Amino acid sequence: MMNLFSNKKAEPPKPEYTEEVGWTQPFVLGKGFTKAGRFDALIGDDNTKRLFAELTADRDRTDVRPVEAYQTILHSIHPGWKLRVLQLYWPDPEPRVTFFHFVEKWRQSSEGLAILKEGLELALDQTSLPFGKRTFIEFVQFDEECITWWETLAALCGNYGVFVYYLNRDEITKLSRWIFNPVLE
């Protein structure tokens, strides 16, 4: 765009909305906790009540349809409501712990198997935890209608084999710490 009285290009107007995609700090900074209905809510840096839930599904079930569950969630929210889906890689100790218990119970019948068992225990001790992808939802509560929708989220997703687990204040704190300081060892 050229200014008619100058040979300099005019600056394009700056958008009013300046939030950056991928910027998590304003979403999870909190001023404490409060209740929103029967749920624990984080008081955001903008004084909003933020509700959190984790979505899970049984990987072995053939009727699980997470894409359809996400579409249903998005189609059911009202204009102006704020929802964010977080997919985080989180340490998952369960596979390693399970394998460790099998190794502990293993009875070796020869010196070679005893050496193998010691090697497995050493490898387990020095190997970092495996990571699994976890899906969380953050929802900003505006009014009582929002709480009613939040309560029905489990039923909406349950039709597609997806389970909703509402986070309490300790779990929200743990999630916030993980977002700001993930330990990727």
Tokens of 88: 């985080």
Cβ partners under 8 Å of residue 170, min gap 6 = none
Which is it for the CA torsion 43, 45, 48, 52, positive or negative? negative
Question: Residue 140 pLDDT more than 50?
Answer: yes
Structure-model confidence comparison of residues 31 and 55, the more confident one? 55
pLDDT category of residue 4 using cuts at 50, 70 and 90: very low
Residues 86-114 have pLDDT tens digits of 887 767 677 777 777 887 787 777 888 88
Give me the percent of the chain exceeding a pLDDT of 90: 22
Tokens 């300081």: give the residue.
181
Q: 0.85 exceeded by the pTM?
A: no
Residue 13 pLDDT? 55
Tokens 């010196």: give the residue.
111
Residue 25 pLDDT? 59
Q: What is the mean pLDDT of residues 64-87?
A: 88
Domains of the chain by start residue, with CATH: 27-91+135-180 (3.30.70), 95-126 (no CATH)
Average pLDDT, the chain: 79
Residue 148: DSSP 8-state: H
Question: Residue 6 pLDDT more than 70?
Answer: no
Structure-model confidence comparison of residues 181 and 170, the more confident one? 170
Residue 8 pLDDT? 53
Residue 3 pLDDT? 43
A 10 A CB-CB count for 137 gives 21
